[in-house]
Amino acid sequence: MGVTTVTDVRQTGRPDEGVGAEGVLAKLFRSEQGGHEQVVLCQDRASGLKAVIAIHSTALGAALGGTRFFPYASDEEAVADALNLARGMTYKNALAGLDHGGGKAVIIGDPEILRSEELLLAYGRFVASLGGRYVTACDVGTYVADMDVVARENRWTTGRSPEQGGAGDSSVLTAFGVFQGMRAAAEAQWGEPTLRGRRIGIAGVGKVGHHLVEHLLDDGAEVVITDVRKDAVDRITTRHPDVTAVRDADVLVRTPLDVYAPCALGGALDDPTVAALTATVVCGAANNQLAHPGVEKDLADRGILYAPDYVVNAGGVIQVADELHGFEFDRAKAKAEKIYDTTAAIFERAAADGVPPAVAADRLAEQRIADRTPAEHWLRPATGVTG
């Protein structure tokens, strides 16, 4: 994957905690989940910015991935999240057919309190300092308006508004891609690529989830939802009184369902959740849904078909990648529609190899990366944004 560089990762955690700095360094240099090329800790005291930019791979081109703005419990947790998300973007971009490696950034703090023009501009300068090795976009806690500000300091920012030459809200094609993956899962599980007559439970109806609701209702599905934000739930139930809302995700997973769609934060598929699931398909928009290695096997052992998250939620990154070439919605949508074919191919590979779909997806992504000569020029300052 290239040369690994760690900038300012300090020994602030105890080695026995596993999540402190020692745990981070072990993950980077000794874990099979590591292999990151570069991790940069960014701080601007004047604006209050504390951020982590993780570049996992540039083998296929400039690392592309969004910026998450979130009130992490600790700095170490933020670093760990950035590492996991960046690695996921490498695999996501590879299977989406994009000529981009994987990267991700997190801004530490509550966006409702800390978000400011000064902070976003400072963050934009840190992105610029990487000289095109990392291309950013929106993620949880960041929006199109934020990217317009970040872009004022660098030319490696996507997810901007149409008025600023961007593609706008990437959640539109993210939801469309998840729907395509769900159709492929339905065909594999029930013989038809439709959700008509099926009961779908969606945990998280925010930026992506509320678009997914619309696709499913249009396809004739019955929808049950939950969200930690009452206003998000009310927006759906007011528009669609036939949509059922339940108290929380714990209730949702125990509700009789055909498909469970985690569309909020990662780690949604842990041991208690998998044990309680009534659904026989899991397909959602959240990143890093598997709480730990082995969950994919537990799902398969229970006869639950899992559509790998980084495959089906790639519509958003497809959209922002297209922005780098002069955005055309129809072109990006046509590429996102191929998520159906990619998901179906993964299910076929999984059946042929006798492995869970998550393993089959990793193998296909790693094959594409291995087939490409590493883009060594990304270790030098770039003059453009494409590989």
Q: What is the pLDDT of residue 245?
A: 97
Q: Report residue 25's pLDDT band, with 50, 70 and 90 as the boundaries.
A: confident
Q: Write the pLDDT tens digit of every residue in 137-165.
A: 998 899 999 999 999 999 999 999 999 98
Q: What is the pLDDT of residue 144?
A: 93
In this prediction, residues 278-302 reach a mean pLDDT of 94
Q: Is-catalytic flag, 104? A: yes
Q: Report residue 379's pLDDT band, with 50, 70 and 90 as the boundaries.
A: low
Q: 3-class DSSP state for residue 131?
A: coil
Residue 114 has pLDDT above 70, yes or no: yes
* Contact assessment for residue 36 and residue 4, using Cβ atoms and an 8 Å cutoff: yes
Q: Write the pLDDT tens digit of every residue in 174-200.
A: 999 999 999 999 999 999 999 999 999
**pTM, full prediction:** 0.84
Q: What is the pLDDT of residue 346?
A: 97
What's the number of CA atoms in the CB half-sphere (13 Å) around residue 312? 32
* Contact assessment for residue 262 and residue 283, using Cβ atoms and an 8 Å cutoff: no
Q: In b/e form, how buried is each residue of 78-104, taking b as 16+ CB within 10 angstroms?
A: bbbbbbbbbbbbbbbbbbbebebbbbb
Of 254, 169, 240, 239, nearest in space to 203 by CA: 254
Residue 113 has pLDDT above 50, yes or no: yes
Report d(CA 233, CA 228) in Å as an integer: 8
Choice among 27, 104, 207, 335 that is catalytic:
104
Report d(CA 97, CA 85) in Å as an integer: 18
CB atoms within 10 A of CB 46: 8
Of 94, 127, 154, nearest in space to 375 by CA: 94
Q: Write the pLDDT tens digit of every residue in 64-111.
A: 999 999 999 999 999 999 998 999 899 999 999 999 999 999 999 999
Percent of the chain residues topping a pLDDT of 70: 88
